[in-house]
Amino acid sequence: MKLKYYLSATIAFLLGGYCLHAQQPAFDCTKSTFRSVNEALKFKDCATILSLRIVKDEVLNPEIGQLVHLETVDLQKNSYRFLPESVGALVRLKSMIISYNHLKKLPEAVGNWKQIEFLQLDNNGLSDLPLSIASWKQLKTLDLSWNNFSSLQKEITSLKSIRLLEVSHNGLLNLPEQIGKLSTLEELDLTFNKLKALPKSFTRLDKLKSLDLGDNQLEVLPESIHQMKALKSINVNNNQLRTLPASVARLKSLESLYLSNNQLQSLPESLFTMQHLRNIILVGNPISKDTIDRLKKALPHTNIVF
């Protein structure tokens, strides 16, 4: 047995790989991720990235408002119940993550985030948003999932650049009448809500590629759904649909139609012409075997699951 002594180990430690770290890294303030507000305040003229993720905070230091150069902020997994008004001073903010906190509401001052492009507010206790969100003209991604929204106010339809909107796992009873104004929207996730109907303007979302309406209480889909011509997938699993609009067949980009666990007894004749449809899932619907057999014959290249 060779006996090692701490001395030799320490020398080796110093001379070995850790000597690599004797070289100080170049400090680039704008690329550095600051891990506390106080640390960032020392560089408040240049601090751009702040991550307070899992710092086990209950109150966000209001001095964050002095960090006016911040562009990326991550506050995920803390216990914030509110944000200080001073966050309104973060006028250069582009990306903000506030997931997994206890927020009940946002301050009106967030309307000053006019450059915001990416905002995660999921897994909080929000039930509404300030009216000032209409100022978020650059916002592309908004995640409101796992909150307490029963409705979305009309100001959300002012998000002129929005591409992705997630509002799953809330208690939505309805959608804003003017939701069709979100003409840039490409992905919409409304699963696990309580929607019974969609507003008329809904089908004006003609850039929408992916529509997730699963686990709601919808009884019909709008007849004008054909206007949503960019749709590639429609998920209406676990709803109360009794019929499908015939116009669905006019969605030429549609690849997948998820219809499991509805009340469909029949399918529109037009559906039997959708040769371009790749997947149609009909599990848990009272559709006759004859209808399924006819569908299989009509769409031999479509994956039909029933």
Q: Which of residues 91-150 bind other proteins (CB under 8 A)?
A: 95, 97, 99, 118, 120, 122, 140-143, 145
Q: Is 305 in the site for other proteins (CB under 8 A)?
A: yes
Distance separating alpha carbons of residues 305 and 289, to the nearest angstrom:
12
Residue in the structure block whose two tokens are 């004008």: 224
Q: Is 216 in the site for other proteins (CB under 8 A)?
A: no
C-beta closer to other proteins: residue 117 or 155: 117
Pairing between β-strand 141-143 and β-strand 72-74 as defined by DSSP bridges? unpaired
69 Cβ contact partners less than 8 Å away, ≥ 6 residues apart: 30, 44, 45, 46, 47, 48, 92
Q: Is 5 in the site for other proteins (CB under 8 A)?
A: yes
Q: Is 301 in the site for other proteins (CB under 8 A)?
A: no
Q: Is 53 in the site for other proteins (CB under 8 A)?
A: yes
Residue in the structure block whose two tokens are 């150069």: 69
Q: Is 281 in the site for other proteins (CB under 8 A)?
A: yes
Query: In angstroms, what is the minimal distance from the CB of 97 to other proteins?
Result: 6
Among 283, 286, 293, 294, binds other proteins (CB under 8 A): 283
Q: Is 289 in the site for other proteins (CB under 8 A)?
A: no
Cα separations in angstroms, 286 against 131, 241, 243, 280, 289: 45, 11, 12, 15, 9
Three-class HEC string of 216-239: CCCCCCCHHHHHCCCCCEEECCCC
Span 145-174, contacts to other proteins by CB under 8 A: 145, 163-164, 166, 169
C-beta closer to other proteins: residue 113 or 192: 192
Distance separating alpha carbons of residues 296 and 87, to the nearest angstrom:
57
Among 72, 151, 178, 266, binds other proteins (CB under 8 A): 72
Query: In angstroms, what is the minimal distance from the CB of 25 to other proteins?
Result: 4
Q: Is 16 in the site for other proteins (CB under 8 A)?
A: yes
Residue in the structure block whose two tokens are 């559709």: 287
C-beta closer to other proteins: residue 61 or 223: 61
Among 210, 224, 243, 266, binds other proteins (CB under 8 A): 210
Cα separations in angstroms, 209 against 51, 219, 256: 32, 22, 11
Span 177-206, contacts to other proteins by CB under 8 A: 186-187, 189, 191-192
Distance separating alpha carbons of residues 185 and 163, to the nearest angstrom:
4
Query: In angstroms, what is the minimal distance from the CB of 107 to other proteins?
Result: 22
DSSP 27-58: P-TTT-EESSHHHHHTTTTT--EEE-TT---S
Among 70, 260, 277, 299, binds other proteins (CB under 8 A): 260
Q: Is 1 in the site for other proteins (CB under 8 A)?
A: yes
